[in-house]
Amino acid sequence: THIGDRNTIREYATIHRGTKENTATEIGNDNYLMAYSHVAHNCKIGNKVILVNNASLTGYCEVGDGAFLSGFVGLHQFSKIGTMAIISALTAVNKDIPPYMMAGGRPAVVQGINVIGLRRAGIPAEVRTEIKEAYKLLYKSGLNTSQALEKIKGTLKSPQVNVLVEFIETSDRGIAA
């Protein structure tokens, strides 16, 4: 188990080690794991992540930098949460949640973009507009994911949108509806 610097790990939080030789559970820097949160074997958590009370990661999950998992969120094994995604309380995640998105429900569905998180992180307005356009193409245009990605790659060029595209293209489980 590798735990970085300046992490706050509250009462009864559990963190499991890697299951096999030469594997590890990895937690970055400046994270906040609230009471009863759970990080199972072989998970990877980035930096500045918040796991609210009873948020639970099963084995091999990945959580990107700046993500926020509300109380009683549960992730299916091998799920990925993108950079600066926010997930509402009581959500069951069984597909990957793309970066910068806001998701909730049972099963999780993407409900919009994490506007407040993006503003707080100092993401410029023009980049937030590109992320919003990418969201519309992915979720509101009627295009399938492959068609939406082609359109996004052809028109939107910010580094943050590139992170979003790469996340989706490398998703093993597929992204949440």
50-66 pLDDT per residue, tens: 999 999 999 999 999 99
Distance CA(111)–CA(162), nearest Å, equals 21
pTM of the model: 0.96
On whether the CB atoms of residues 82 and 167 are closer than 8 A, the answer is yes
d(CA 119, CA 113): 11
Summarize pLDDT for 62-111 with one digit per residue, the tens.
999 999 999 999 999 999 999 999 999 999 999 999 999 999 999 999 99
Give dist(CA 161, CA 138) in Å, integer: 12
How far from each other are the two terminal CA atoms of the chain, in whole angstroms? 33
Q: How confident is the model at residue 47 (pLDDT cuts 50, 70, 90)?
A: very high
User: What was the pLDDT predicted at 57?
Assistant: 98
Using H for helix, E for strand and C for coil, what is the string for 27-64?
ECCCCEECCCCEECCCCEECCCCEECCCCEECCCCEEC
Q: How far is CA 106 from the centre of its chain?
A: 16
| CA 81 to chain CA centroid, nearest Å | 2
CB 27 within 8 A of CB 45: yes
Q: Give 49's pLDDT tier (boundaries 50, 70, 90).
A: very high
What was the pLDDT predicted at 89?
97
Name the CA radius of gyration of the chain, rounded.
16
pLDDT at 69: 98
Confidence of residue 161 (pLDDT cuts 50, 70, 90): very high
To the nearest whole percent, how much of the chain has pLDDT over 70? Answer: 100
Share of the chain above pLDDT 90, in %: 100
Query: Within a 10 A sphere around the Cβ of 114, how many other Cβ atoms?
Result: 26
Residue 40's pLDDT is 98
Q: Which whole number is the average pLDDT over 10-17? A: 98
The b-or-e profile of 34-52 (16+ CB within 10 A means b, else e) is bebbbbbbbbbbbbbbbbb
* Structure confidence at residue 59 (pLDDT): 97
Report whether 77 contacts 57 (CB < 8 A): no
